[in-house]
Amino acid sequence: DARVTQTPRHKVTEMGQEVTMRCQPILGHNTVFWYRQTMMQGLELLAYFRNRAPLDDSGMPKDRFSAEMPDATLATLKIQPSEPRDSAVYFCASGLDIRMQPQHFGDGTRLSIL
């Protein structure tokens, strides 16, 4: 059963520190999405990629967040400097750029900024 892999699963750090979250999409998937979820609320889309190219990162605070795909098997989301309001669960999802196909979510990174 292929799954999206996210690391770390949990991260606790102090305000001002850099945070890097990683995602390995399902092999063969060419679209990758980053979502943020707070207190079991809605899924806020931060950024997404197709064939490693960023298509939309309008949901991301540009001054502190950055998202990249160094290669087809790795997507990263960085926060620098981190702030307490960044505390949330960050989900990565992957899919195929074929119409009418679902996204598959990873288990998320639970981030706490003290």
Partner 1 sequence: GENVEQHPSTLSVQEGDSAVIKCTYSDSASNYFPWYKQELGKRPQLIIDIRSNVGEKKDQRIAVTLNKTAKHFSLHITETQPEDSAVYFCAATEPGGFKTIFGAGTRLFVKA
Stretch that binds partner 1, among 12-20, 41-49, 63-71, 75-83 (CB under 8 A): 41-49
Phi then psi for 84, rounded to 5 degrees? -55, -35
Q: Should residue 14 be labelled a site residue for partner 1 when binding is judged by CB under 8 A?
A: no
Q: Should residue 28 be labelled a site residue for partner 1 when binding is judged by CB under 8 A?
A: no
Spatial neighbors of 76 by CB under 8 A, at least 6 apart, are 20, 21, 22, 23, 67, 68, 69, 70
Other CB atoms within a 10 A radius of the CB of residue 7 amount to 13
β-partners of residue 108 are: none
SS3 content of the chain, % helix, strand, coil (to 5): 5, 50, 45
Write the binding mask 47 to 86 for partner 1: x where contact by CB under 8 A, - elsewhere: -x-x----xx------------------------------
Out of 19, 34, 46, 95, point to the residue binding partner 1 (CB under 8 A). 95
Stretch that binds partner 1, among 10-18, 33-41, 66-74, 78-86 (CB under 8 A): 33-41
Residue ranges binding partner 1 (CB under 8 A): 31, 33, 40-43, 45, 48, 50, 55-56, 91, 95-108
